[in-house]
A and B are shown apart, each in its own frame.
Chain A
Amino acid sequence: MEKHHLKGWLYLLPAFLFLGAFMIYPLADVFVYSFEEGYNSASQTFYGVGTYNYSYVLHDPYFLQALKNTFLLVVITVPLSTGFALLISMALSSVKPLKELFQTIYFLPYVTNTLAVGLVFMILFKKTAYSDGLVNLLINWFGGNSVDFIDGPYWAKMFVLCFYTIWVVMPFKILILTSSLASVNQVYYNAARVDGTSRFRIFRKITLPMISPTVFYLVITGFIGAFKAYSDAVALFGTNLNAAEMNTIVGYIYDMLYGDSGGYPSYASAAAILLFAIVLTITCINLLVSRKHVHYS
């Protein structure tokens, strides 16, 4: 028996070594840095130990802006993208002709190069010397005034960021939901039909509970992904996100490390730990809520 244990640990050792060196050690290190005041990574020195880093970050207007942006992004994009994905996959599973074609079309954004996507959004939203962008053309068509979506008011920029995020994350959700919907046994729908159940009730009482584990998975990963958003904002608004008021928490952490105002690993660590705490809390809440509404067979 003892021998078997040893063998088991031996098999796990390579994975442990790698995970330890590249995941657990850095995590622990970040946690330690976040309490070391004025840590300098070059000289490996710091002034003292305490919670000053957290206090600084929590009073930094840039961080608060990033926090607000991230929260808005999460609250808007996760429900909307999941909801739209659900609607589209429901529609996809109910059409018969050209089903494969539609599925391919809806999955295309997932395999499209980020730069190409950025170009598309540029054409849609960016104001240039020659045009105000396609969306503005539409707004003008309906008699509205042009809006500068990239350098203009906060709400316009937030709208573009949310739009972009939803558009980018949806294909994967559609793919997962379509296969999940296909796995629901047709016999339940037949049973419900014989009992005269309305389509809406079938969806709410049968389809949704049956695919609830998938929906829950998408919501959790959606939350985590949105909290870690950064590259989307950079793609739209450039690297100086603080100036554009469009920074995210991860963006703030990056700026603190390497940005123009960078060189503060202690602050970055504190912000990273804060982000971790937020994600952990939200995930725990999700898990609690799911206990009542998610049905595992």
Chain B
Amino acid sequence: MKIVLEHLTKEFPGRGKKNPGKVIAVNDFSFQIPDGKLVGLLGPSGCGKSTTLNLICGLLKPTGGKILFGEDDVTNLPPEHRGVGLVFQNYALYPHLTVLKNITFPLENLRGADKLTKSQMEERALEAARLVQIEALMDRKPGELSGGQQQRVAIARALVKMPKVLLLDEPLSNLDARLRLQTREEIRRIQQQTRITTVFVTHDQDEAMSISDLIVVMKEGVVQQIGKPQEVYDDPVNLFVAKFLGTPPINVFQGTVKNERLSIGGDEIMDVKGVADQEVAVGIRPEGFLLQEDGPLRCDLSRIEVMGRDISLVSTHKCCENPAIRSIIDAESSVDTSAETVRFAIKPHKLFLFQKENGERIRF
């Protein structure tokens, strides 16, 4: 089932006299989620990603625009008629019911022709439980489960009614780091196995990049960029997207373009063909630095962090906006730790130029 969002807008009215201004949580969001894909809605908190999810599932009504599931307009349909499965951030498992009862809960709501017998329900529940590998826990109460197990129960409950669309709201934020890695693989596996169109919301770019087919980066209710994770990472449309994706984050410098030459703090870095003379913001990915004795960019070396496979050089530069420049280089390259300055050459495709005022990308 593909999902089409057409000029989707959600405004919340202002509250009281103190905050009379209305809040536009989602602003003119148009996007087609292809059938059977896993899409990550990504953005800092308050960017409208959860609101978008609630609009898709029907818990919120849009103030403008349309939502289509396949060919059907579901904009005004209540959530129960949309055929969506929703996994809440804190799982929302009913604490007084066993795992089995939690999973069969949506099935017990079916009426008329869809009504199931008790054994059919249990069979379906067991099937869903097997998919998320919790079939041994069916008689426990949610309170007796670990966070990861609760998460799986929540997914099983969302899947048991065979939804057309699966929605996950910050599915990993309540798990510890190790479990998070494991569970995100799990979500990917379940999604691939069931082929259900899945939308998940996260503020963690790592999470979104690692498992999504497509990511949607949002900021203050406005979609910034949509694309495959690697494409968005390699080709950000603006400074916000460039800064938001990637760990360690991108290094941003104040630079100047003069006569199609880019310079940072007086050091001429590289040619930038076709760019007019102006002040620019220069973004360089941590992996875009090459250690070179006569490299054009001179930084003051602070320390070296060894991370096994790579080393991370921490240095400073007077034109850099980040408090410290992080550059990741091969562990095999030898670094003189006593040196006060390091010199880098820059990989051209890891360097992006942005307009100083609005952060829009300048292509060259």
Instruction: Report if B80 contacts A (CB, 8 A).
Output: yes
List B residues 35-73 near A (Cβ within 8 Å). Answer: 57-59
Q: B84–A194 contact, CB under 8 A?
A: yes
Q: B109–A191 contact, CB under 8 A?
A: no
Chain B residues, CB < 8 A from A197: 80, 105, 109
What is the 8 Å Cβ interface bit string for chain B, positions 77-113, against chain A (1 contact, 0 not)?
Answer: 0111100111010101011110000000110111000
Contact of B59 among A193, A196, A205, A212 (CB under 8 A): A193
Identify the closest chain B residue to A186 (Cβ).
B92
Q: B80–A195 contact, CB under 8 A?
A: yes
CB distance from B76 to the nearest CB of A (A): 15
For the residues of A in contact with B, the DSSP-based class is helix
Q: B95–A191 contact, CB under 8 A?
A: no
Instruction: Report if B13 contacts A (CB, 8 A).
Output: no
Chain A residues, CB < 8 A from B95: 210, 295, 297
CB distance from A29 to the nearest CB of B (A): 45
Instruction: Report if A206 contacts B (CB, 8 A).
Output: yes
Q: B79–A206 contact, CB under 8 A?
A: no
Instruction: Report if A263 contacts B (CB, 8 A).
Output: no
Q: B88–A196 contact, CB under 8 A?
A: no
List B residues 202-243 near A (Cβ within 8 Å). Answer: none
Instruction: Report if B143 contacts A (CB, 8 A).
Output: yes
CA distance A206 to B59 in the complex (A): 18
List A residues 174-212 near B (Cβ within 8 Å). Answer: 185, 187-188, 190-198, 201, 205-206, 209-210, 212
Q: Which of B81, B84, B90, B95 has the most CB of A within 10 A?
A: B95
CA distance A140 to B85 in the complex (A): 59
CB distance from B48 to the nearest CB of A (A): 18
Q: A194–B109 contact, CB under 8 A?
A: no
Contact of B94 among A188, A190, A212 (CB under 8 A): A188
CB distance from A11 to the nearest CB of B (A): 35
CA distance A212 to B86 in the complex (A): 27
Q: How large is the interface on A (under 10, 10 to 19, 20 to 34, 35 or more residues)?
A: 20 to 34
CA distance A265 to B81 in the complex (A): 70
Interface size for B (C-beta < 8 A) is 25
CA distance A206 to B96 in the complex (A): 8
Q: A187-B90, A191-B86, A191-B88 are in contact. Are A196 and B96 (CB under 8 A)?
A: no
Q: A194–B90 contact, CB under 8 A?
A: no
CB distance from B10 to the nearest CB of A (A): 16
Chain A residues, CB < 8 A from B79: 193-194, 196
Chain B residues, CB < 8 A from A206: 94
Instruction: Report if B161 contacts A (CB, 8 A).
Output: yes
CB distance from A41 to the nearest CB of B (A): 53
Contact of B92 among A188, A198, A201, A205 (CB under 8 A): A188
Q: A190–B92 contact, CB under 8 A?
A: yes
Q: A297–B92 contact, CB under 8 A?
A: no
Chain A residues, CB < 8 A from B105: 192, 195, 197, 205
Chain A residues, CB < 8 A from B92: 185, 187-188, 190-191
CA distance A187 to B86 in the complex (A): 11
Q: A201–B88 contact, CB under 8 A?
A: no
List A residues 259-297 near B (Cβ within 8 Å). Answer: 295, 297
Identify the closest chain B residue to A198 (Cβ).
B109
Chain A residues, CB < 8 A from B143: 297
Chain B residues, CB < 8 A from A201: 108-109
CA distance A13 to B94 in the complex (A): 45
Q: A295–B59 contact, CB under 8 A?
A: no
Could you list 29 examples of A-B contacts with CB < 8 Å? A185-B92, A187-B88, A187-B90, A188-B94, A190-B86, A191-B86, A191-B92, A191-B94, A192-B105, A193-B59, A193-B79, A193-B80, A194-B57, A194-B84, A194-B85, A195-B80, A195-B109, A195-B157, A196-B79, A196-B80, A197-B80, A197-B105, A201-B108, A205-B105, A209-B96, A210-B95, A210-B96, A212-B96, A297-B96
